[in-house]
């Protein structure tokens, strides 16, 4: 009730490859821009000095498109204004600056996502994944249930051979896919849902049903032991500092920044 968690993918390379016009179009979805860029967008012929200044402005906007601090500033300001309006008050809303951790490998991505999705269950605010309000796992489960109902309904209404349907993942969340596609989460949706159900039973052992006898395949694929997994999804924030990942990833990152070690690799 007093904080939120986000798992973000920073598309720095995508932003750097955008044309100036694409950067301007994205920026103008949120802001008014500036008079000089307005003149450029209207098709006005501008001299070299004006175009040089426009390029400087666009380069700054381009940097902000993949800047986490800028993103959080905008998001937190939006939430603060809305909350203060609802409470009919003014003044500072957030206690302090956000905290962030860089996810260095697939293991870190998986464990951090699970830590976030299981947050309501861990805090005893929800009894199941489907009851976990305002979580991505709830959105994904609802989307999957809706997909199953649609297929079942269509197949029952017709005597024709059932059509092959593709599960559409929630539009506002990054898709699960495979490790080959850099623009998707490098796991399958079904593996993640199986792991989420398994992990929720670990956290709430008194929950109806028993823990699966065997750990989900995704843990075996990533060579993660169940005890280690349970400890990580319970204490992810405390287990790591600014960087999260396997010991080899943490050591490699530490050495690249001229450090001997990072928390989590000891």
* pLDDT averaged per 10 residues in sequence order, the chain, 266 residues: 91 92 94 92 93 95 94 94 94 92 92 93 90 92 85 61 69 82 84 91 64 73 86 86 88 88 75
What's the pTM value of the predicted model, to 2 decimals? 0.82
d(CA 193, CA 141): 8
Q: Which of 265, 235, 222 is nearest to 247 (CA)?
A: 265
Identify the pLDDT of residue 102: 94
Identify the pLDDT of residue 169: 85
User: Which residue do the tokens 């999705």 mark?
Assistant: 117
Q: Which of 246, 182, 255 is nearest to 11 (CA)?
A: 182
Identify the pLDDT of residue 22: 96
List CB contacts of 113: < 8 A, sequence separation 6 or more: 7, 136, 185, 192
CB 159 within 8 Å of CB 189: no
Identify the pLDDT of residue 209: 44
d(CA 224, CA 246): 10
Identify the pLDDT of residue 164: 54
């Amino acid at each position: 009730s007093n904080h939120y968690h986000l798992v973000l993918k920073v598309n720095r390379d995508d932003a750097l490859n955008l044309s100036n016009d694409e950067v301007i179009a994205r920026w103008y979805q949120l802001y008014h821009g500036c008079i000089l860029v307005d003149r450029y967008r209207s098709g006005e012929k501008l001299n070299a000095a004006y175009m040089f200044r426009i390029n400087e402005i666009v380069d700054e906007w381009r940097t902000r498109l993949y800047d986490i601090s800028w993103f959080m500033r905008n998001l937190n300001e939006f939430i603060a204004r809305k909350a203060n309006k609802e409470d009919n008050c003014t003044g500072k809303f957030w206690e302090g600056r956000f905290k962030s951790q860089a996810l260095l490998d697939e293991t870190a991505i998986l464990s951090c996502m699970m830590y976030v999705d299981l947050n309501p269950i861990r805090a005893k605010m929800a009894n199941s994944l489907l009851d976990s309000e305002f979580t991505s796992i709830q959105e994904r489960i609802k989307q999957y249930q809706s997909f199953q109902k649609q297929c079942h309904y269509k197949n029952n209404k017709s005597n024709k051979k059932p059509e092959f349907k593709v599960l559409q993942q929630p539009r506002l969340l990054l898709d699960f896919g495979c490790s080959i596609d850099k623009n998707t989460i490098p796991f399958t949706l079904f593996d993640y849902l199986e792991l989420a159900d398994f992990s929720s039973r670990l956290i709430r052992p008194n929950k109806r049903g028993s823990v699966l006898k065997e750990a989900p395949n995704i843990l075996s694929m990533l060579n993660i032991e169940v005890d280690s997994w349970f400890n990580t999804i319970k204490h992810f924030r405390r287990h790591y500092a600014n960087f999260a990942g396997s010991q080899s990833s943490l050591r490699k990152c530490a050495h690249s920044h001229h450090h001997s070690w990072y928390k989590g690799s000891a």
